[in-house]
Structure 1
Amino acid sequence: MRTEKVADHIVQWLKEYCTNANMDGFTIGISGGIDSAVTSALCAKTGLRTLCLEMPIHQAQSQVNRAKEHISFLKGNYTNVSDVTVDLTSVFEQFKNEVPQSHEDPNLNLALANTRARLRMTTLYYFAGLHRYLVAGTGNKVEDFGVGFFTKYGDGGVDLSPLADLLKSEVYELGHYLKVPTSILEAPPTDGLFGDNRTDEDQIGASYDELEWAMAMENKGKKPSDFEGRKQTVFNIYLQLNKANQHKMKPIPVCITPNSYKIL
């Protein structure tokens, strides 16, 4: 990948989109992960106002530390970067108090995890509305169009997606080029939505390198039966998630009513 060219292209795209939309800048949720770090650095390079939001909800201290380190790096290098911390832990706990919960329900933990992401989306749009900013998405190609590893109307609720045409490995290349802190480059990817140490690989059952391989094989028309062992397992994981999460990746379906039904 011609990393410098890719970075410059995305920066120019961000700047042109924001200017044409008559908006004043960007807001990004900073998680301490590689995707939000690269997205925020690219937004900062536009020269437009860039607001970094920390929104912890029972967050692991290591994630908080990485987020703070990255924001300090950005503010030390770009005068257009500012930051706000909004601790949503009490909001999340209040929400839990107000809704019925059954700890025997196998879907409870996932529903609550997705609620965290949606509370953060609401917060991002609050600040975007205050300042006339666009909410910059942080999803990459594997997450957004491969396995659908994001929360619908959570981290998937954004105004524009600068990284969605890049594989995870390419995001890491950009991270090195943009001098993202080593602590972030070396940290195992995690969505941080469950309040424990589980990684993305723990949840998905495959690494991003493996998922990129499976995505490439699907594009070549290959089938799981063409492989054996781990490769077959990974390919099946990829295809199962891709199928199950199509509702996230496709536009909202609209029920088209026949005109003959509308005419009196």
Structure 2
Amino acid sequence: MSLVEVDALHRVFRLARRTEGVTAVNRVSFSIGAGEAVGLVGESGSGKSTIARILVGLERADSGTATIEGVDCLTPARGRAARLRRARAVQMVFQDPNGSLDRRLPIGEMLQRTLRLHGRSASTAAARAEALRLLDQVRLSERHAAAKPHELSGGQRQRAAIARALAVEPKLVVLDEAVSALDVSVQAQVLDLLAEIQRDSGVSYLFVSHDLAVVQQLCQRTLVLFRGAIVEQGPTGRVLDTPQHPYTQLLIASTPGADWDPERVVRDRMTFTQRMAVLSEE
């Protein structure tokens, strides 16, 4: 049995003055195995972040199912115990680490509070030792433990956010554009760190990104989203090296590289858009 099972997940946003609404997630189904990293790629507006937010309980689904280790993660968590249980199943690392870091607290104190909240440390001394171990795991030091988020660099803040997510020993970590705001050299360091953590802990990742090179480096499988629906999926090497769907081909052609031709990309995009418009009318 897979760790994560998502079946026919559907979400429509109702907008003022538009009775039909906008379909953000269209009958999406996929699974994630234990210890597996799965990439979720697509352009802005494709539904990637909506799926991520649904899995961690920040957004509701209109229909479908989603489970982590067989436990329903779509039903709103009622009560403290249920909320803590969900937090131990899935954690999220945001593009902006300030989304999960308390700017008023030093990083070490923030981690200690998280550990005590989830019953992972019986004493203050044990919580401090575990907080330092978590920081060492993400290649931060005791000096960083004494710093508040604004006193750290962007890469250091993201490492602290990863440590915050790992503090509860989740089964799944959802990373939503977690390295897109970082410099290329820092990106590579954080990706190496994530791969090392996965090897050591067996945690699973859902890695949401628009950057195909980043997904290729970290993920074993890749799902391609277009207008809220999965149009292609499979082993990352196969999907990115020999894409079958025209949209995947367009995404790859749009990525700057040695043979990148922006004028051809514009023409291909126009052709693709026209083709999809015809198909939607049929």
* Same-fold call, TM cutoff 0.5: no
The TM-score normalised by the length of structure 1 is: 0.31
More helix by share: 1
The TM-score normalised by the length of structure 2 is: 0.30
More strand by share: 2
